[in-house]
Structure 1
Amino acid sequence: MSRREPLRMPLPCRPCPVLRSWAKMTPMLPQRFFSLALLLTACSGDKGGSTGTPSPAAPLLSVRDGRLLDASGRQVLLRGINARVEGLFDVTFDDGRIALEEIPPFTGEDCAFLAETLGMNHLRLPVNWSGIEPHEGTIDTGYLERIGTLVDDCAAVGVLTIVDLHQDAYGKDIGEDGAPLWAIHPPPAELLEGPLTSAELAERRRSPVVLEAFSSLYNNATLTSGQPVRDAYAAMAAELAGFLADHPGAVAIELQNEPVVFGAQDLLDAFHDAVTAEIRAVAPELPVVFEPDAIRNITDTAVMNTPFPWDQAMYGPHIYTQVFEDGWVSEDTGAIEESIARSVEEARFHSAHLYAGEFGNDPRTERGLLFLSTCFDAFDLHQASWALWLYEEHSQDSWGLYDEGDAPHTRGALRAAAVDVIARGFPTATAGRLIGLSWDSPSRTLTVRLEDATSDPHELAVPVWVYPDGVSATCDGTTAAVRATHPGRAEVVCNGSELVVFPQG
């Protein structure tokens, strides 16, 4: 596939309209602003032709006609949560500077909780360039091994991981997380430290040094070492992809969290193309997740100039409708539904599976829970995959499933009201074509509409939180046998057109 020449993105000498909007919003932005069980296809790589490089191992998931499929051809939905993990979300320093924030631990036991209690089958795992390659040309194998261990432990309990190359305000030395110091161009005059508040992070996001660093990355500027910075990023991503080949529970790589190009779509297209090319050179069949310009978090719409030119792709917008303006005080559910409907069209334009890699609001409030339930219903309507933001957080905005404990930065009580909204049934793998699903919370009833269903079993998420006594099911109104495979999962054979799951008894 031929690569397009990127357009130059000049640094603004005065705020353009989008930058003024950005600056207006950022004081209210929480820290997340810049912020799949079973698929396979035999052909992948560039849509224009194969890379010719054999894959060391076939991934568990593949994308075909906008649907995720497992090795048996069942249609898969990935639904889960983001977790910032101690030792992986890199916000500490080795030169005496104060860490930016406390990041909680997360282990395979937490993944078991996701799978069994919440019925989830997915973890979006933010990792950082600064952790993978802290010194130019030197890969930290210990850091990679920590990623691999968590991916394997989660896969063992049925939770599949998308490894997200995450950044917030470019890098920890000038922002929150992302790139290592050596990959900041031009080199910063001042190295920042913690503790990092939400207000301070907002200031860092729009600082000239952060905006210049993004411009250098997307324009492939030459570092002081002589290496172009985008090329260095793509090489790092390929190292990660090669490592993950031995960890099949990692079902995709996300190219970059919330890219910051201020509408320069050609630059973003070139960046995605260059990084995907390097990944596919070592992992030809590994799905990739690509995001739109981060400004979509505010505008709820993305530029669609050129379709994403690679197959095995997922489109990963974030849904934060009005959250970063005023916390969604309007409680306009229609605005959320419209944003998600537009994301469906955007994914279709790119022939990609829709995967909302982040969405959320404060789960401690009724407004926040309404935001979440509205998103869940809309994602059901459009059969989207998703990852909620966030599992646990005791710094800055304290979103997450847990209160803070008696000691600072420790886990307290589970937020039961939030779990009541978040835990819900869904078809994790459908033997046939999934054409609709809906969830009725009061009756705890899942309705799945099918087309061309086979006699193979459908796999269902049946969270223990929702179904402590198990489930019953009907297929086209007739009682269907339910086989519990393990806590939080069940299988049902239904080769009809409607499968209904409800509490046993």
Structure 2
Amino acid sequence: MAKLPVRLLGVLILVTASLAVSAAAGVSSSAAEPPPGRLWFDDRAAASFTVEDGRFVDGLGREVVLRGYNVSGETKLEENGGLPFASVADAEKSAAALRTLGGGNAARFLLSWAHAEPARGQIDHAYLAAVTAQMRAFLRAGIRVYPDFHQDLFSRHLFHGGSWYTGDGAPKWVVEAGGYPRESCGICLFWGQNITQNQAVTRATYDFWHNRGGIQDAFLTTAQTTMSYLAEHLTPAEFAGVVGFDPYNEPHAGTYDSGQSSRAWERDLLWPFYEKFRARMDAAGWHDKPAFVEPNLFWNANLDFQKQEGGLLDAGSALGPRYVFNTHFYDQKAISGIFMWGKAKDGQYAGDFGTVRDRAAGAGTAAIVSEFGHPLTGTVSDKAPTVLKAMYQAIDSRQPGASWWSRPQDSGAVLSSTQWQWDIYNGRHHELMNGNPDKVLTAGDAWNDEDLSAVRLDDTGAPVLRQDARLLDRLYPSATAGRVLAFTYEDRSRDGSTTLTWNPVPASLPHVRELVGSGQYGLLLWRSDGSASPTELHLPASFAPERTTVVSDLGALHGLPPYEAGKPIAVAPEPGGTGSRRLLLTSSASSNLHFALITNGTTAPSPDALQSTRAELAAWAANGG
């Protein structure tokens, strides 16, 4: 018997199971429709999430883009026992806000090895139960998650009560067995310098990669137990929303062996670790979910003296669909306050994120930028509005705004990403730094003077954004029926009182320019695959359906109608019941080139204006921009 593609097989299994349940209950298949408010394709689309042909795809074969945040740095603290939240209620509040305020459909969900295995070989099942309950809050809000056993500077237990810095990750028993020197970073202005300058950190990290005393084996066993627990205690529908696992945050050698290069370290130690982790995933029932593997954290550093060769180059095509190329990007020049004067500009990071796209393509898999961000307080915080806008611009397209309209064919894949971070407790912590009652941290993220959370709680306990909503709650193609060819979004976010417009509509498209005006707009070009499934875009809260205009080859209208079968352009709730919305664009035409302009600019365009804009866009798209 010929093997069916994994995606198709998953859909057939789901449909067969649904029919069997209906038959057992004595109802016909037509009676087993989803409840009002749910669309027929919701459950099928959630049934599968895989990597195919270098992109994420769902159970309907649609190209998926993950957008969201890290949840959260609270896991790195002790105040809530290594959990992301103090309670399930807080998790539910955070998840709903991530969806409605932050526009996210995904979360990198941080876990703590130290709390999962507090004593060697002894798993804290109460911790796993609490983690599962909090994760469930996000899954039920329609948010896909990928867990991450997080570590920074190896372990907080390397640091003492008087330390300038702290860490997170490995349990106390690992540190006690290592016999490491009293930590000291010397004159370190940034916590990250400990990675290469603090001998306690470098020696402990080295020991992990060389499996001294079997500590790597212990970590892998704990990870497998955790994955098995999640698979067993989440419902099948919930578990379908867990899209993979990030095995290790920001890996680095600590110190290299004599004559060893960073690339050789990746080949000889990091990649074999990922293969072992992959085997543990399979054993835990995660065989159809990819491992989100990170290269040497300095492989794409934008400071030359920090950059090290890597990017899992020697894994080559071995990555493939069972792995995702997973990387971080921070502008160290901007964060330093020394190496970048002024603000970020249009196209600032096109090359950096283009490198991510190219590396994933070379490895035959999809890419995700699982961390990026910039400090929101401190001496360099004035750069944050432009740095974050430039990063999101490069995540959407590898083309700067100045050249996007003339070269859309070079736009590249829309990258998946999760911003650091989403911590509702920002500014309200009560963390005893390294257990010291005389060093109670309350400000910012309460961790090594960081302050990057996009959200906080106001005095009423309600989540509110700390960054411009126009920047964070973005239009993006969450599921495309076919292949994305190009995408851009002009968010019109602010830097103080200045509106940042980096992708103005060119004068050569006067009708488009007039329709958009000073409003926000996005433009998607895609080639359909003949599917009857809709293409979906997340619709930000700033795009009220009654004031949103869509101009597409599928139609042109101002004011979006609710979804009904047969409507080519419509609006519907996003899964999860949080009130967030999605735009649905449906065409059954096979292999056709489609375009869609979405804007909240002109308040009441005339029918003639809509049709003129449609004709202008059609000619532009047909001529390749």
Name the TM tier (shorter chain).
Answer: 0.7 to 0.9
For residues 141 and 391 of structure 1, what CA distance do their matches in structure 2 show? 26
The corresponding residue for 1:418 is 468
What percentage of residue pairs aligned between the two structures are identical? 20
Q: For 1:460-499, list aligned pairs within 5 A.
A: 460-467=537-544, 471-476=548-553, 478-479=555-556, 480-486=568-574, 487-495=579-587, 497-499=594-596
2:252 matched to 1:260? yes
The corresponding residue for 1:84 is 72
Report the alpha carbon displacement of residue 111 of structure 1 after superposing the two structures with TM: 1.3
Report the alpha carbon displacement of residue 459 of structure 1 after superposing the two structures with TM: 2.0
The corresponding residue for 1:208 is 199
Report the alpha carbon displacement of residue 151 of structure 1 after superposing the two structures with TM: 2.1
> Aligned pair in 2 of structure 1 residues 412, 369: CA closer, same or farther (>3 Å)?
same
Q: Where does the alignment leave 5 or more consecutive residues of structure 1 unmatched?
A: 1-38, 44-57
> Could you list the per-position Cα deviations for residues 452-471 of structure 1 after superposition, in whole angstroms to 9, with x for gaps in the alignment?
24332122211214548563
Q: For 1:117-128, list aligned pairs within 5 A.
A: 117-128=101-112
> Aligned pair in 2 of structure 1 residues 439, 391: CA closer, same or farther (>3 Å)?
same
AA at the equivalent of 2:70: N
Report the alpha carbon displacement of residue 126 of structure 1 after superposing the two structures with TM: 1.4
For residues 275 and 336 of structure 2, what CA distance do their matches in structure 1 show? 32
The corresponding residue for 1:440 is 490
> Could you list the per-position Cα deviations for residues 270-314 of structure 1 after superposition, in whole angstroms to 9, with x for gaps in the alignment?
211121122122221122100010123535673412226353321
2:254 matched to 1:238? no
TM-score by length of 1: 0.77
Counterpart pick for 1:71 among 59, 69, 79: 59
For residues 387 and 545 of structure 2, what CA distance do their matches in structure 1 show? 26
AA at the equivalent of 1:91: E
> Aligned pair in 2 of structure 1 residues 377, 142: CA closer, same or farther (>3 Å)?
same
Report the alpha carbon displacement of residue 380 of structure 1 after superposing the two structures with TM: 0.9
Q: For 1:344-363, list aligned pairs within 5 A.
A: 344-363=357-376
> Could you list the per-position Cα deviations for residues 27-78 of structure 1 after superposition, in whole angstroms to 9, with x for gaps in the alignment?
xxxxxxxxxxxx95759xxxxxxxxxxxxxx963101111111111111100
Counterpart pick for 1:109 among 93, 101, 110: 93
Equivalent position SS for 1:305: helix
AA at the equivalent of 1:346: R
> Aligned pair in 2 of structure 1 residues 198, 232: CA closer, same or farther (>3 Å)?
farther
Are the aligned partners of 2:376 and 2:451 in contact in 1 as well (CA < 8 Å)? no
- Larger proportion of helix: 2
> Could you list the per-position Cα deviations for residues 320-367 of structure 1 after superposition, in whole angstroms to 9, with x for gaps in the alignment?
132454376344555522111111111112222110000111245441
Are the aligned partners of 1:119 and 1:424 in contact in 2 as well (CA < 8 Å)? yes
Equivalent position SS for 2:119: coil
The corresponding residue for 1:339 is 352
AA at the equivalent of 2:488: S
The corresponding residue for 1:179 is 170
Q: For 1:36-55, list aligned pairs within 5 A.
A: 40=7
> Aligned pair in 2 of structure 1 residues 327, 117: CA closer, same or farther (>3 Å)?
farther
> Aligned pair in 2 of structure 1 residues 205, 159: CA closer, same or farther (>3 Å)?
farther
For residues 160 and 371 of structure 1, what CA distance do their matches in structure 2 show? 26
Equivalent position SS for 1:216: helix
The corresponding residue for 1:32 is none
The corresponding residue for 2:276 is 274
For residues 416 and 245 of structure 2, what CA distance do their matches in structure 1 show? 15
Equivalent position SS for 1:296: coil
Of the structure 1 ranges 439-448 and 165-174, higher mean CA displacement relative to structure 2 is found in 439-448
For residues 384 and 245 of structure 2, what CA distance do their matches in structure 1 show? 29
Report the alpha carbon displacement of residue 378 of structure 1 after superposing the two structures with TM: 1.1
TM-score by length of 2: 0.63
Counterpart pick for 2:291 among 288, 309, 319: 288
Q: For 1:136-155, list aligned pairs within 5 A.
A: 136-155=120-139
> Aligned pair in 2 of structure 1 residues 146, 60: CA closer, same or farther (>3 Å)?
farther
> Could you list the per-position Cα deviations for residues 341-400 of structure 1 after superposition, in whole angstroms to 9, with x for gaps in the alignment?
111111112222110000111245441111111111111113110000112332222222
Are the aligned partners of 2:572 and 2:583 in contact in 1 as well (CA < 8 Å)? yes
Are the aligned partners of 1:118 and 1:488 in contact in 2 as well (CA < 8 Å)? no
Equivalent position SS for 1:164: strand
For residues 280 and 360 of structure 2, what CA distance do their matches in structure 1 show? 23
The corresponding residue for 1:28 is none
Report the alpha carbon displacement of residue 202 of structure 1 after superposing the two structures with TM: 4.6
AA at the equivalent of 2:396: D
Equivalent position SS for 1:253: coil
AA at the equivalent of 1:499: A
2:152 matched to 1:168? yes
2:417 matched to 1:386? yes
Report the alpha carbon displacement of residue 92 of structure 1 after superposing the two structures with TM: 5.6
Equivalent position SS for 1:135: coil
Equivalent position SS for 1:107: helix
Counterpart pick for 2:387 among 353, 371, 380: 371
> Could you list the per-position Cα deviations for residues 140-191 of structure 1 after superposition, in whole angstroms to 9, with x for gaps in the alignment?
1122122222222112221111101110000120141111122337524578
For residues 241 and 489 of structure 1, what CA distance do their matches in structure 2 show? 32
Of the structure 1 ranges 125-134 and 482-491, higher mean CA displacement relative to structure 2 is found in 482-491
Equivalent position SS for 2:228: helix
Are the aligned partners of 1:118 and 1:464 in contact in 2 as well (CA < 8 Å)? no
Report the alpha carbon displacement of residue 251 of structure 1 after superposing the two structures with TM: 1.4
Of the structure 1 ranges 242-251 and 327-336, higher mean CA displacement relative to structure 2 is found in 327-336
Are the aligned partners of 2:70 and 2:420 in contact in 1 as well (CA < 8 Å)? yes
The corresponding residue for 2:435 is none
The corresponding residue for 2:310 is 302
For residues 189 and 231 of structure 1, what CA distance do their matches in structure 2 show? 20
Equivalent position SS for 2:316: coil
> Aligned pair in 2 of structure 1 residues 423, 412: CA closer, same or farther (>3 Å)?
closer
For residues 327 and 379 of structure 1, what CA distance do their matches in structure 2 show? 25
Are the aligned partners of 1:459 and 1:489 in contact in 2 as well (CA < 8 Å)? no
For residues 209 and 199 of structure 2, what CA distance do their matches in structure 1 show? 16
For residues 110 and 386 of structure 2, what CA distance do their matches in structure 1 show? 26
> Aligned pair in 2 of structure 1 residues 177, 42: CA closer, same or farther (>3 Å)?
farther
AA at the equivalent of 1:436: A
Are the aligned partners of 2:153 and 2:168 in contact in 1 as well (CA < 8 Å)? yes
The corresponding residue for 1:399 is 452
For residues 457 and 569 of structure 2, what CA distance do their matches in structure 1 show? 42
For residues 460 and 257 of structure 1, what CA distance do their matches in structure 2 show? 30
The corresponding residue for 2:115 is 131
Are the aligned partners of 2:60 and 2:533 in contact in 1 as well (CA < 8 Å)? no
> Aligned pair in 2 of structure 1 residues 473, 170: CA closer, same or farther (>3 Å)?
same
The corresponding residue for 1:251 is 243
Are the aligned partners of 1:169 and 1:205 in contact in 2 as well (CA < 8 Å)? no
Are the aligned partners of 1:252 and 1:289 in contact in 2 as well (CA < 8 Å)? yes
Equivalent position SS for 2:229: helix
Q: Whose Rg is larger? A: 2
For residues 205 and 149 of structure 1, what CA distance do their matches in structure 2 show? 37
For residues 118 and 433 of structure 1, what CA distance do their matches in structure 2 show? 26
For residues 338 and 127 of structure 1, what CA distance do their matches in structure 2 show? 32
For residues 41 and 184 of structure 1, what CA distance do their matches in structure 2 show? 47
Are the aligned partners of 2:72 and 2:84 in contact in 1 as well (CA < 8 Å)? no
Counterpart pick for 1:329 among 334, 337, 340: 340
Report the alpha carbon displacement of residue 81 of structure 1 after superposing the two structures with TM: 0.7
CA RMSD, Structure 1 to Structure 2 (Å): 3.3
Report the alpha carbon displacement of residue 488 of structure 1 after superposing the two structures with TM: 2.2
State the structure with bigger RCO (CA 8 A, min sep 6), 1 or 2: 1
